[in-house]
Amino acid sequence: MKNHEKSIDPASQKMLDKAYAEGIQTVWDRLEAQQPHCGFGELGLCCRHCNMGPCRIDPFGNGPKLGVCGANADTIASRQLVRMIAAGAAAHSDHGRDIVLAFRAAAEHGEGDYKFKDEKKLLALASEFNIPTEGRTIQEIALDVSDIALDEYGMRGQKLQFTKRAPKVRQDLWTSLGVDPRGIDREVVECMHRTTMGVDTDYVNLTLQGIRTSLSDGWGGSMWATELSDVLFGTPEVVKGWSNLGVLSDKEVNIVVHGHEPTLSDIIVFAARDPELLKKAKEKGAEGINICGMCCTGNEILMRHGVPIAGNFLQQELAIITGAVEAMIVDVQCIMPSLPTVANCFHTKVISTSPKAVFPGATHVPFDEKNAMETAKQIISIAIDNYPNRNQGRVNIPSDRMGYMAGFSVETILGALGGTLDPLLDAIKSGSIRGIAGIVGCNNPKVRQDHNHIALAKELIKNNVLVVETGCAAIASAKAGLLLPEAADMAGEGLAAVCRALGVPPVLHMGSCVDNSRVLVVAAAIANALGVDISDLPLAAAAPEWMSEKAVAIGTYAVSSGIYTVLNSPPPVLGSSNLTNLLTAGAEGVVGAVFAVEADPVKQAGLIIEHIEKKRTALGL
């Protein structure tokens, strides 16, 4: 495969050329070396959950039709799916737990490095949870909020607080199906129990547990991560900045923060402004300190501080290959184990910070929220000391960069609309906006980088569908210029007019991948305003380049919330025709939405538009 076929991004193409010329292996090379992938694995028909196996089921020939224990294709494939959902929910929800613990530490130590940047939102949460506020300090109120949050991870048969935000008809549906989450950790543990050899073997029953676990993520762990991150670090407001590898500087100390948890990256932004560190950088020959983001931790700081973002998932190795990165600071999730190996080809230091994610070959600096600023300064100092080791003869920073407008939290969207959803509802009712589509998810080297994200978004806005995005999909649109108000020129007449009136892009950046919870909140608010269920709305979602187990959890809680969801490729379930039919057809009669699978992004857009028009007709619009 030629480099221009691996990515539509010109900066990535240039770095791939450099990697090839210098013999540096990247994710695309490793993908090619893995071909052909295991067909049993792709179909979900291999099982290694006990030591009688591993077992596989032959869907075509005269091979085995049952595992050693007697499990059939339906059981094996559904167990694989449920374990993927559990892993994805665990990742997002554990991220949420760390935010809750940082939030609680800020409440307990009011003079620490973390302050409550949005006390108004904290008070709103207290009101939502019936926590008394009169005559009490912010710290006392925050401690009560954190108690509720921590209780939700291991409840005793109660109901998650945020599920009450969903329309009453949706809540009743979840109750009737027995999929109301009973506690975030409990649902993940029960998934692992049920999928152990000798426990649950019914594919429908297993799938219902997957639904319940995904809801504990979307309406639980992820929502707590978003809400309390806003309180701690500030609710995003509209910001402008720059994206792509061209944001790296040839004369400054370049530090790339990569991962997902803003507890570290947010404090790094402020630590880099320290006069002593800036003085040290100049003493080492640099003109300053340049903080850039990568992946979702990059999204966290770009939407709160306008920090430049160097790229999305498939660019993490390429940033190092520029030869201009002094340090890549990583925490958790979506971090390639290859980074230290690539960094060894240059002067770059990969610095890991989480006890949950240690990478052989990286420098480990444990991050402690109680001494956050001190740790951040220590890490930045390591990067500064590394600046003189940069080989200027090997530096090749692509000139490609693009501006963006981001920070579209629920509160920002409401503010742009004058504090009420009415203007948005009026635009939908009039047909100026036909509907809303959420494009989310990762990059995957099996798909030409950013191609599906951009082609899908362009086709949707051309047809007057407002697009909201999170995660790596949003970064793809930033690099392509779709997060600028000028992108309204690519939109249909109705959507373009709305965007120009509000001064916003036709593609709205709503945050990191845990911030898909913001999409749920908006969907619930619109449904409640119209007096309908979420499944009745002209609304859809898509993950056109997904790769992570987190994406499986996200897609499942979207469908389980009533949102039609399009994937470019299926999870490993096709070996079970019954499970495949349940997910793509039968679920309509259960939760009011289904998955659809389509590789072509233009055809994906066609499916979404067809769905939106069907919902408009049913609503009489």
- Among residues 233, 268, 289, the one where a domain terminates is 233
Is the pLDDT score of 41 beyond 70? yes
Q: Is residue 460 part of a domain?
A: yes
Which of 151, 280, 296, 300 lies closest to 239 in space, CA to CA? 300
Domain boundary among 394, 423, 444: 394
pLDDT at 158: 79
Q: pLDDT, tens digit, for every residue of 467-486?
A: 999 999 999 999 999 999 99
List, in order, residues 6 or more apart from 156 with CB less than 8 Å away: 183
Q: Mean pLDDT across the stretch 59-77?
A: 90
Give CA separation, 127 vs 134, 145, 420, in Å.
Answer: 11, 10, 19
499 is known to lie in a ligand binding site: no
When pLDDT is cut at 50, 70 and 90, the band that residue 451 belongs to is: very high
Binding residue per annotation — 509?
A: no
Query: Does 250 lie in the same domain as 229?
Result: no
| Domain end (from 337, 359, 394) | 394
Closest by CA to 263, choosing from 356, 349, 189, is: 356
| 404 occurs within a structural domain | no
Which residues are 5's β-sheet partners?
none
Widest CA span in the chain: 75
Are 255 and 229 contained in the same domain?
Answer: no
DSSP state for residue 515 in the 8-state scheme: G
Q: Are both 599 and 462 inside the same structural domain?
A: yes
Query: Given this model, what pLDDT does residue 587 score?
Result: 97
Mean pLDDT of 327-335: 96
CA distance 604 to 240: 30
Shared-domain flag, residues 370 and 332: yes
Q: Which among 35-39, 55-59, 561-565 has the top mean pLDDT?
A: 561-565
Kindly state the DSSP code that residue 35 receives in the 8-state scheme: P
Instruction: Provide the angle, in degrees to the nearest 10, between the axes of the packed helices 222-233 and 73-108.
Output: 20
- Same-domain pairing of 444 and 548: yes
CA distance linking residue 151 with residue 144, whole number of Å:
11
CA dist 351 to 329, 357, 473, 506, Å? 5, 11, 26, 37
Structure tokens at 34: 């893995």
Token look-up 């949005």 returns: 118
- Of 456, 459, 444, the residue nearest 552 (C-alpha): 444
- Asked if the structure places residue 198 within a domain, the reply is yes
The helix (H) or strand (E) run that includes residue 77 is helix 73-108
Packing angle, helices 138-151 and 73-108, rounded to 10? 160
pLDDT value of position 369: 81
At 388-406, the pLDDT tens digits run 999 999 999 999 999 999 9
Full DSSP string of 33-65: HHPSPPHHHHHT-EE-SSTT--EE--SSSSS-S
Q: What is the pLDDT of residue 167?
A: 97
312 is a domain residue = yes
**How much is the average pLDDT of 169-184?**
96
Distance from C-alpha of 187 to C-alpha of 154, rounded to nearest angstrom: 9
- Number of domains into which the chain is organized: 4
Confidence of residue 370 (pLDDT cuts 50, 70, 90): confident
334 annotated binding-site participant: yes
Helical residues (DSSP H) of 284-369, grouped into ranges: 295-305, 316-321, 339-343
Crossing angle of helices 451-462/471-479, nearest 10°? 80
Assigned domain for 401 exists: no
239: in domain = no
Closest CA to 386 of 271, 252, 247, 279: 252
What's the confidence (pLDDT) of residue 157? 64
The mean per-residue pLDDT over the stretch 16-30 comes to: 96
Instruction: Say if CB 303 and CB 229 are below 8 A apart.
Output: no
SS3 for 62? coil
Does residue 400 belong to any structural domain of this protein?
Answer: no
Nearest CA to 417 out of 524, 504, 531 is that of 504
The DSSP call for residue 353 is -
Q: Smallest Cα–Cα separation from 493: which of 431, 408, 435?
A: 431
Both 448 and 563 in a single domain?
Answer: yes
Local structure of residue 572 (DSSP, 8 states):
T
Q: Are residues 436 and 576 in the same domain?
A: yes
> pLDDT tens digits, residue range 405-432?
999 999 999 998 888 999 999 999 999 9
**Exposed/middle/buried for residue 388 (C-beta within 10 Å: 0-12, 13-18, 19+):** exposed
Do residues 386 and 425 both lie within one domain? Answer: no
Q: Do 357 and 249 fall within a single domain?
A: yes
For 125-174, the pLDDT digits (tens) are 999 999 999 999 999 999 999 999 999 998 766 789 999 999 999 999 99
pLDDT, position 111: 63
Range of the domain at 97: 73-233
CATH number of the domain at 368, please: 3.40.50.2030
d(CA 466, CA 523): 13
Determine whether the annotation assigns residue 296 to a binding site.
Answer: yes
Going by C-alpha positions, the residue among 269, 285, 379 that lies closest to residue 330 is: 379
pLDDT tens digits, one per residue of 275-318: 999 999 999 999 999 999 999 999 999 999 999 999 999 999 99
> Is 472 a known ligand-binding residue?
yes
Alpha-carbon distance 162 to 521, whole Å? 9
295 is an annotated ligand-binding site residue: no
% of the chain at pLDDT higher than 70: 100
Statement to judge: residues 125 and 89 lie in one domain:
yes
Does a structural domain hold residue 240? no
- Give, to the nearest 10 degrees, the angle between helix 119-128 and helix 222-233: 140
b/e sequence 558-568, b meaning 16+ C-beta within 10 Å: bbbbbbbbbbb
Show the tokens assigned to 87. 């892993």
- Taking CA 610 as the corner, what is the angle to CA 604 and CA 612, rounded to the nearest 5 degrees? 105
Distance CA 433, CA 619 (A): 15
- Residue 3 has a pLDDT of 80
Same domain, 363 and 284: yes
Q: Is 292 annotated as a binding residue?
A: no
What CATH number is given to the structural domain containing 199? 1.20.1270.30
The pLDDT of residue 59: 83
Residues 485 and 339 in one domain: no
Answer for the pair 53, 67: CB distance below 8 angstroms, yes or no.
Answer: yes
- For all residues of the chain together, what is the average pLDDT? 95
Which amino acid type is present at position 202?
D
